[in-house]
Chains A and B, each alone.
Chain A
Amino acid sequence: MAVLAFLDREHTVAGPGFSRWLIPPAALAVHLCIGQAYATSVYKTALVAHFDTSLTAIGIIFSIAIVMLGVSAAILGTWVDRVGPRKAMFAAACFWASGFLVGALGIGTDQLWLVYLGYGVIGGIGLGIGYISPVSTLIKWFPDRPGLATGMAIMGFGGGALIASPLSSQLLARYDSGFDPADPTTVASGDAVMKLFITLALVYFLVMMLGVFNVRVPAPGWMPPGFDPAKLTAKPMITAANVSAKNAVKTPQFWLLWTVLFCNVTAGIGILEQASPMIQDFFRNSDGVSAVAAAAGAGFVGLLSIFNMTGRFVWSSTSDVIGRKPMYMIYLGVGIVLYFLLATFGNAATALFVLLAAVIISFYGGGFATVPAYLRDLFGTYQVGAIHGRLLTAWSAAGVAGPLIINGFLDAQGKPGELVAADYRLALYTMVAVLAVGFIANLLIKPVSDRFHESKDHTDAFLEAKAAESGTVKTSSGRNS
């Protein structure tokens, strides 16, 4: 359609003098919206009551969304690289907003399957496209600081929950006068959740449009002033070559990095999954009463969210200075020590427990944010978005494995919220072992073999697609396809 021609990548090429600092807010506009996915607990209880079903049945909505995130990012990553960030962000906004609207229809008509389809499947596709849509563009705009650039965007995914959680509570209270977010005995009505979904659909669509209109791709050959690519690629772990997504998955480096991300996320989920009951259980007195009140437990969850978000920006930016491999050695190696200390001595003092858990979660967030820059270092910029999309299946897998491990061990001990510190040790030591596997995988990562490199004329997936459409050049896909 001609009216949508402005979405085409050729209409998004930045002119001379365009400030690259407009790109991070464009990326944040998308990530802050899709980060709502981590704030679903606000209306979980209301949906359980509305559909008169179990917490597990409602929890499936979120699980479907996260699985769809990984699947759609993996499948549509090549499309995102080909069509450019503006069309991808627009598609993400349409899917994400439609997901809420279909979900609202499901709540309004008492059909839970429509909520699965809406928020879970349609919204999940929006999550996947939205998550990867700005990544390769940011890397191209910030070749000198890719960790900082992707850290800013992916920090938004963590920050999105910080906004959506209080905002949703306040909106639910406005739509249902009988609901008081401060009173856990009150539950919002289904009608209020439906109205919340419609409101979020409209607000998120508008904010994501900011990203759509602001995003630009740099003109071919653009470089920031003073940047010397030769200096960068002189470092042994940073390639000057490019690897296609199709070839990347054939390299051991991809699967080693997949293992690194999987282990880092699994270990982080180990704490996030049971954060509130865990801190109360760690400081349970012999009379069965915890020294940490429920309100303080909720505060602990909030504190972890802040460290999760800031870790994404701070550690990813640090990786630009110390290198990606050493950064992951810190995430995983120091993580092993901190996790061990938490399991063994965490119940010595609340401050020690909070400090250890906060740093561990900052590493969890940092692992997410640093991985696109690590991919750029290993595989080049050619199809880094598509490769990132495929790598995110590690997140989906960890989203299943993490809770299974932690809940499996804890279920054998009793019910979280009624346990003591010793009951958590086996689960936490298992996470130490998981981190050790990730640490070894990271140590084994070496530069990608030359045989996977594209020839020098394959550097831009979009230009190649356009050339193939017009039949001007042959569409070779590399030496090893």
Chain B
Amino acid sequence: MAGPEGQQTEPSSHGGSPTHETTGSQGSRLVVSWLIVGLPLAYGIYQTISKTLPLFGG
């Protein structure tokens, strides 16, 4: 995952008022956001793989 990035070639006010983010708060926000979606997904994959074991004689 990348940190803050990107370049702008035009003033951003053309599309509305840009929100301001700080690098530090974004780091923790990245971790929390990915955990909120990643943990349930890991739970689902684990549960599904457990179910597939009989297919392989488990």
Interface set of A (CB-CB < 8 Å, partner B): 8-22, 25-26, 28-29, 32, 156, 159, 161-167, 207, 210, 214, 216-225, 292-293, 295-296, 298-300, 302-303, 305-306, 354, 460, 462-463
Contacts and interface: CB of A to CB of B under 8 A. Distances in A.
A207 B38 CA distance: 12
Contact of B34 (A25, A164, A165): A25
**Interface class of chain B by DSSP:** helix
Given A22-B30, A29-B37, A221-B9, A16 B55 contact: no
Nearest to B27: A19
A270 B29 CA distance: 42
B19 A299 contact: no
Contacts of B19: 11-15, 18, 216
Contacts of B10: 219-221
Nearest to A10: B16
A302 B54 CA distance: 11
B12 A296 contact: no
B35 to A, nearest CB: 9
A224 B5 contact: yes
19 contacts: A17-B6, A17-B21, A17-B22, A17-B23, A18-B19, A22-B33, A25-B36, A26-B33, A32-B40, A163-B44, A207-B37, A219-B14, A220-B12, A220-B14, A221-B10, A299-B53, A302-B49, A306-B45, A306-B49
B48 A305 contact: yes
Contacts of A22: 26, 29-30, 33
Contact of A21 (B2, B41, B52): B2
B5 A15 contact: no
Given A26-B33, A32-B37, A12 B16 contact: yes
A368 B33 CA distance: 25
Nearest to B35: A25
A16 B18 contact: yes
Contacts of A305: 48
Interface residues of B, number: 43
Contacts of B54: 293, 295-296, 298-299
Given A11-B17, A300-B52, A18 B26 contact: yes
Interface of B: 1-10, 12, 14-23, 26, 29-30, 33-34, 36-38, 40-41, 43-45, 47-49, 51-56
Contacts of A161: 44
A223 to B, nearest CB: 6
Contacts of A10: 15-17
A9 B30 CA distance: 22
A354 B55 contact: yes
Contact of A220 (B7, B15, B29, B41): B15
A19 B26 contact: yes
Interface centre among A19, A164, A166 (most CB of B within 10 A): A19
A460 B15 CA distance: 9
Contact of B5 (A12, A20, A26): A20
A225 B17 contact: no
Contacts of B29: 22, 214
Nearest to B45: A162
B33 A223 contact: no
A18 B45 contact: no
